Structure 1
Amino acid sequence: MALAKTVYSLLFRRTSTFAVTIIVGAVFFERIFDQGGDAVFEQLNRGKLWDHIKHKYEVKEE
C-alpha cells in the first residue's frame, strides 16, 4: 500500500505530472515495441533479408 500511495502522490496526483507520465510512458513503450517487432521480424526472416545474403551478390572492386 505504501508503494501505491507514493506512486500516486508523485505521478498521478496533479494533472500536469499525470500528463507527463503518460507521454513519457508512451514514448518508452513505442520504442520498446518497435525494437521488439524488428527483432521478431529479423528472427523469422533470418537468411532471407538483403543484409544476410548481400555477400553472395556484391562484386568486390579492386
Structure 2
Amino acid sequence: MSLGSSLYNLVFKRTSTFALTCAVSVLFFERTFDLASEKIFDKVNEGKLWKDIKHRYE
C-alpha cells in the first residue's frame, strides 16, 4: 500500500473526515502563526514595549 493510497483512505475518502482534518489543520496553523508573529514582533520592538519599561514608572 503506497503513501498516497493510505492518505486517501484515511483522510480524503469521506467528506466528514476531510472537513475535520481541514478544521484541525487550520486551528493548528493559526495558533502557530500567531505565536511566531508575536515572537518576531517582540524581538523587533525589544526595549520599546510597555512590558520592557514598566519598571521605570512604577
Same fold, judged at TM 0.5 (above)? yes
* 1:15-30 matched pairs, under 5 angstroms: 15-30=15-30
Structure 2 unaligned residues grouped into runs of 5+: none
TM-score by length of 1: 0.86
* Alpha-carbon distance in structure 1 between the residues aligned to 2:46 and 2:4: 44
Q: How many angstroms does 1:31 deviate by?
A: 0.3
Alignment match, 1:57: 57
Alignment match, 1:31: 31
Q: How many angstroms does 1:4 deviate by?
A: 2.1
TM-score by length of 2: 0.91
The two structures, once aligned, show a CA RMSD in angstroms of 1.2
Structure of greater Rg: 1
State the identity %: 52
Number of equivalenced pairs: 58
* Alpha-carbon distance in structure 2 between the residues aligned to 1:26 and 1:52: 32
Structure 1 unaligned residues grouped into runs of 5+: none
